[in-house]
Structure formats: C-alpha cells, structure tokens
Structure 1
C-alpha cells in the first residue's frame, strides 16, 4: 500500500497541498479527479520524486520513500507522462531499455527480452524499430506505458492519460489500464474526465481548484 501522511507543498506563497493524507491500496486503481489547479499533477510529481513535499511522508509498504534519491524512487514508482516524453532520437526498443540498463543495471539482452514481451502485451510487437515521430498518439502512449512497466514498478502513475488523444480513443485507454491491473501494483490515474474515471476507478479522490 502507498500511504501519504500530512503532505504539504507550496510554490511561493501558493499552498497547493495542505496536510494531505491518503492510502492507495495495492492492486487497485485510484483516480484523482478534478479540474486544473487542484494539485492533482503536483501530487503525482511528488509521489514519483519529480518534486518533493515541503513536509509529510510517503510510505510504500511501510518503507519511507520521502528521503530516498530520485534514482531509488524510480525503482518503485513509474510514471506515464501527459506528453509521453519519449526520446526522439531513440527508437521504441531503445526508449524502453534505457532506464533498466542504466538504473537497474540489467544486461542489454535481459532488458531487450523484457521490452519485447511488453511490446507484445501492448500490441506493438512490430514497432520496436520505429521512432516516435513515426507513431500515432495512441502508440506513443503505449510505448510510454511499456517504458514505465519495464522498471517493474510497484506503483504506476498516469498523468491525464486521455488528454493528448482523440476522444474516441479514451475507451481504448480505459481498457488498457484495466488490463494492466495486478495484485502487486498500485495504479494512480490523474484525470479531469469523470466519464473516463468511472470506467476504471476502484476509488476516486475528488479535488477542487485552489
């Protein structure tokens, strides 16, 4: 279980998170739902280690992640970014194996084998040599998910997973996230779309703009 205890975060004089506490159960999908300005993405960035809480704690199965280095956090928490953030000069396979070989110190052969399994799972087995500019938005998103899964995360976070896609693809994204449910993985999804949230959520946190 991922637990946030009394988390606060400010940018200048603006307090974005104020004494936030919440449990995210393992094996479930928790949706953080609300408009822009409510602190959804800030919370996600703090969970992933891209930002730090000003105060408070982040615990994963009672292990305190708050003081861990960013590279250590990457071993436990994967993020699928709103704009995917694929490296344009690397092909699909190279994008996926980069972090496992550099952070986890996997051999290239081991990382490649795992990446090919993930690409097959996500219906991209014929795209491993393609570059990001050759992919559709939906394909880029699946590559970004494969890249996150390649690290074997215990927590998988999605930042607005439907916002960069055509509206008719949101159902496909919902199905994909549901198919990735695992008893060993906590999934956290940030979205402003209540219809999408209803399709996937085991529990929903509703936030308001501040």
Structure 2
C-alpha cells in the first residue's frame, strides 16, 4: 500500500509533483512530504493562433533584447479604424548553439510564467498577458525596466569614478531618498501580490531590478 504522501513513487504527472522535481521535497522530514503544489498549478491555457498571426518578415517587429533563456521582440499594433491597437512584446525561447535549449524544463518555465500572469490578471502590478503557446508568451509592451532607472551606469564602475567623498555624494541616478523609498515600496507591493495570492503563495525565485518593469506613467 503506497503512503498517501509518497510523491517520489507516485506515477502522476511529474510537473504536478514537487517530490520528483526538487530535492528538498525528497527529504525524510514529515513536514516536507506535506508540501505539494496547488491544484491550479497544472492548468494550461495556450492560444497558439495569436502567435501564428505575427509575420516576422512583413510585420513591424523590433528586437528588444534577451535574457537567460528567452529573447524579446516588440510587435507594432495594427491600425484599427480611427484608433490603433497597442504594441505587444513577444518573448520567445532563445536558441544557443551547443546547449540544451528546447527541453521540457524550458517549456515548463514558459507555461508557469504565463499561468502566473493569468492567475493575477486582475492586479495592476502584474504584467498583462495576451497569449501563450509552447515556448512563447505575448505580454503588454512597457517602456523599460527598473534597473535602467535605478542604475543608469555600467553595472561595474571604478572606485575613482564614484565621486562620493565627503558630504557631496553622487548617487548617479538623481533619485531622492523619498523616490527610492517609493520605488522600494512599489517593488514590495508587486511581490506581495505573488506571496499573498489566494490560491497559495507564489515564489518568484529570480528577484533583481531587471525583473520589474515601468509603466508609461512611470
């Protein structure tokens, strides 16, 4: 008879089973065996037709940059009668020669990313998502990340260039103490949306300034 919490030997979908994916849940501690993903975590809402409508040859598509396993493109919105549809950002999986790029883990990360945005769609502090398909997501287009606002210099700087001697310190970004506190609070409020989700706490696990985006109004 298999124990109710014997996740390691449970043949169920491994992506619904932390006991298979993470060593911490294979612990012999009784408490660890009671930790399992929420039911909604295995949901999946792909809308692939939206992605097939984007023509990378003829549409107005602009390369934005890349992260560890994805690259981002700005897709210009279509003219619609008197108005214009907003731009969107398409994030697609990167291909890097000699590396294991298109594996299950990468697809799973993309699915979870899209799912979290779907679960928190009502929050003004979470990026709006317009679609997800396999290794790609479509999200609202935003002007930039907090990193470039808070650190508008090269990420490494020589000590001689700091100019922070005495009382005349140069903070490089021109932000006042009040503005820094307000920015920190906004970041904390966004994280609180994840940690306080009614369906169960959501852990980000990759927190840095580049993960937080600015809206057009700042």
TM-score, with normalisation over the residues of structure 2? 0.24
From the two aligned structures, give the one with the greater strand fraction. 1
TM-score, with normalisation over the residues of structure 1? 0.25
From the two aligned structures, give the one with the greater helix fraction. 1
Q: Does 1 or 2 have the higher relative contact order (CA < 8 Å, sep 6+)?
A: 1
Mark the structure with the bigger radius of gyration.
2
